[in-house]
Every structure is written in structure tokens, then in C-alpha cells.
Amino acid sequence: MKKSLYLYNTGSVKKEHFQPVNDPVNIYCCGPTVYNYAHIGNLRTYIFEDVLKRVLIACGYKVKHVVNITDVGHLVSDADTGEDKMEKGAAREGKTVWDIAEYYTGVFMQNINELNILDPDKWPKATEHISQMIDMIKTLEHKGYTYKTSDGIYFDTTKFENYCDFAKLDPEQLRAGERVDMGEKRAVTDFALWKFSPPDKKRQMEWQSPWGKGFPGWHIECSAMALAYLNQPVDIHCGGSDHIRVHHSNEIAQSEAATGKPFAKYWLHGEFLVMGKGKMAKSGGNFITLDALKKQDFSALDYRMFCYTAHYRTPLTFSWEGLRASAQSLSNLKKQIGALNENGAVNRKKVDEALSSFYDAICDDLNMPRAVAAIYEILRKEGLSDSEKRAAIEKADTVLGLNLTVGLEKAQYQVQSQGKLIKIVSESTLSDSIKDVLVKNAVQRKIAREEKNFALADGIRDLFSAAGVIVKDMPDGSTLCTVKNEKEAQVLLENKPEH
């Protein structure tokens, strides 16, 4: 029996009873543009999206989740002007665009791992889906939604009758805005589907197309990648609130114009992390990274706890004092849980009753401040044994993702073998035999990748996956193995391949 869940839908501007179209529930989330470090404001959005996914699972739904990697086409201006952010990043660091994309993708993945954010089912890269984008643009062209200028192929928003509806745009204000210089655009809301390479400048990322050599616009990337992996309509499309007016309005217009179907049923948007008087943003230079928090002795989960001090649709003001208070709260909470006696009997009915306030909170549009308060209520609850309190909190933590019942610190190991650095993180102390086989297979996988023996490397990766071990290649050249359960990891010992 699935639990009733209510979510605020940006499209309808109201809270709605969640009734998905697809099984599993299809979720698409706008991913990072990998030209620089993600700041903690960006990461707040991914934490809210992770909570959404965890809540859906806790409510009894299966989930199919896609998050894209934007590694080309995102210009510094929403008005389709300025440099490609990837080219700008490459010029800043004196590296190739491809190196920039690989490095910052790796750093982002490390951030996601440290924040205990569940991996999506797919991480599609824009550069790997150019053909799908070209096909969608050709469809739009065939249907009469496009026009050509000297710098690209544009979507004619005047041909899409409902363009202003999603973001509640005022057509009169838009017409006033058209008095500013728009170049060859016919309307201020028109947007680039395909940009031509500058004739006087060699781009590092460009492709041949029916319209000339160039690269895709940012908006067409998300539509093409979403529809490559998910059904239409997508059940839930997520992003930051800054995506509503331009990026998501454009996604809706081009997707629905191309297919004739609704693009997504529910739209969820996270609000800004505020620093000083404005949102935290790389463009303004006022941003803090997760690594900067760690240098001040805060953990990634301290920051996750801090994000729970406000509802995801409410702006959250960052301060070091606020973060320190959240870190102390998390530490105290884990100490209280650690002091519980685990050895008593557990009445599952009493556990479920104790969780009723917690589920009421998370099913009311992901109300995490109330959900955290419910954990303290469970700890104070009379008539509930220590074992039952712990069992309830363990279940709640599948949504919170704070590792509340796995000790104050995870076991961590670092091993150098055959010149390869292997890092292991586990929720419990590991035996030497498990550590040895993890290292051996991780080293063999890394060597296989270096030798371009991808069949062998993928086979070892699949073995890790079957054993419940998450393997990631880190920006510093090391390989990180995250062990969720030592008993599952025993599969590695029983089935290790001979190479």
C-alpha cells in the first residue's frame, strides 16, 4: 500500500496529491554544468532532489531517475550571448575543454558521494547525445517552429501558444523588453536550438549538423536527454527556482512542440541558498564549495543537516554560525542514538506508530524541518523501548540520509598497490580479507581501464555492483570503494574473477 504524498507543483502553483503516470516513477533533474566547482548553493538543490527520491521510495514507489551532465552549450547569458561556460573554464585554467569536463565531473561525483546522495540510474552527458538533439531540432524545423539567423537556429516562441503559462509571464512586459537589442531574434523569448561556430574562432567542441558546424543550445540538451531515457510525460522534473522563467519554459515549449504531448506532470523547484544580500552564485564570485566547509572541520553531512533547517521552497541564508549549530545538533543527535540499548525486542506496530509524525512531515511536500523534529519526538517518546526507538530512527534515516545509526565516523582505509591509490569507506569495520579483495579488484579494474580493456573493467565493475560496493574514480587519481554491507561484499570473495 503506497502512502499518500502531496507535492507542490510549480506548473499549477499549488500542492497536489501525487499520482504518477509511470511505473516506476520517472524523475528528471537538471544536472551540473561542469566548468567549475559546484558551490553549496548548487548542492542544496541536489540534496532536496535526493530527499524527494528517498521519500518516493519510502512511500512504496519504484523510481527511475536521470540527472544530466552539461559539458557543452551552456552560455554565460540566458539571452543566448556570451561564451560557452565550458570554453570559458578551459581558457581560465589553460586546459582542454574535455579535461575541464572530466575533472569537474569527477569533483561533482565526489561531492555527491560525500553528501550521501543516491546515484541516479543514468548520468547522460550532453556531448554523448548530439545526434538526439539534432533529430529533435529537425522535427521542430519540419513542424515550422524554427528560423535561422546568422548565428544559429532559433525556436520561435510566438508559434507556441502557451509559452507564457508555466512561468506566469506577462506578455505586455515581454513586448516592452523587445525594445532592447535582440540581434536577429524575432522575440525576446526566442532561444537558440543550435549555435553556429564563430567563423573567426576554432571551438574545441563542435559538430556537423544539417545547418552547419556548431554546437547545441543548453535547453535542447535537457529535452533530448530526458526523452532518451524516460517516458513522456515525465512524472517529475526538478531544478532550481532560477530555471523556471527561461530554462524550463524553453524545455516545455520545444518538447511539447516536437512531440505533441505534455512534457512533465509535476515540476518541483528548490529555492536559493542566500549569502549576504543575494543568491550564492559562481558568476558573482560569492560562493563556497564543499571542500571549503571541510577545511573548516565541517563534514558534508553537517551541511546536509543544515539544509534541513528550512523547507526546500524557502530561501536559506548561509552563515558559519548556522552551520556550526547544525553540526552540533547532528553530533548530539547521533550520541543520543548511540546510547540506546539495541538488545531488546522490537514491536513493529509500535515502531510504525512512532513514525507517523515523521511520515506526515515528509509526505507534506518534503517538510524536512518537521521531519527532523519528529526524530527528537521519537527519542523522547514514552512507552517505546530503546530498541524500538533505534529501529524507528533507522527507518527514518533511509529518507534523512544522515547515517544516524552507523556510528559517529565511518571506517576508512587507504591502500597503495601497484602504484594505484585505493580508498575504502565502510559503515562498519572491515576484515582484512574483504579489504584485500577490494583492493585487488579495484587495482585490476584501473589497470584494465588504462589499457582500454573495457570489457574486463566493466566486468569487475559489475562484480562490485552485485556486491553492493559503489566504485568511483576520483579527481586525485584514486579509486573510492564505498561498502554498504560487509556481508554483501563477501560476494567479491566468493565470485572474484581470475585475470
Using one digit for the tens of pLDDT, what is the confidence trace for 162-218? 999 999 998 777 765 565 567 899 999 999 999 999 888 888 999 999 999 999 999
d(CA 77, CA 86): 13
Using one digit for the tens of pLDDT, what is the confidence trace for 363-395? 999 999 999 999 999 999 999 999 999 999 999
Residue 415: pLDDT over 60:
yes
Q: What is the pLDDT of residue 69?
A: 97
What is the phi/psi pair of residue 482, to 5°?
A: -105, 115
Radius of gyration of the chain (CA): 24
Q: Which CATH class is domain 275-400?
A: mainly alpha
Q: Can you state the angle between helices 40-58 and 300-307, rounded to 10 degrees?
A: 70
Q: Which helix (H) or strand (E) holds 37?
A: none
Mean pLDDT (whole number) for 331-347:
85
Q: What is the pLDDT of residue 417?
A: 87
Cell of 441: 579488484
Spatial strand order in the sheet of 191-196: 146-149, 152-155, 191-196, 214-216
d(CA 289, CA 373): 28
Residue 246: pLDDT over 80:
yes
Q: Which of 111, 89, 98 is nearest to 35 (CA)?
A: 89
Q: Can you state the angle between helices 386-400 and 368-380, rounded to 10 degrees?
A: 170
What percentage of the chain has pLDDT greater than the value 90? 71
Q: What is the pLDDT of residue 202?
A: 83
Bridge partners, 8 (sequence order) = 15
d(CA 76, CA 62): 37
The CB density around residue 24, as the number of other CB atoms within 10 Å, is 16
Fold agreement (6-270, 275-400): no
d(CA 491, CA 468): 9
Residues 6+ apart with CB under 8 A from 461: 445, 471
The domains of the chain are located at 6-270, 275-400, 411-495
CB 156 within 8 A of CB 247: no
Residue 406: pLDDT over 80:
no
Q: Which helix (H) or strand (E) holds 195?
A: strand 191-196
Residue 282's pLDDT band, with cuts at 50, 70 and 90, is low
From the number of C-beta atoms within 10 Å of its C-beta (0-12, 13-18, 19+), residue 239 rates as buried
Q: Could you say which architecture CATH assigns to the domain 6-270?
A: 3-Layer(aba) Sandwich (3.40)
Length of the chain: 499
d(CA 222, CA 69): 9
Residue 409's pLDDT band, with cuts at 50, 70 and 90, is very low
Residue 427: pLDDT over 80:
no
Cell of 369: 524541518
Q: What is the pLDDT of residue 434?
A: 85
d(CA 200, CA 121): 41
Q: What is the pLDDT of residue 477?
A: 82
Residue with the bigger pLDDT between 405 and 394: it is 394
Query: What average pLDDT is seen over the chain?
Result: 91
Residue with the bigger pLDDT between 83 and 57: it is 57
Lowest mean pLDDT among 13-22, 321-330, 401-410, 437-446: 401-410
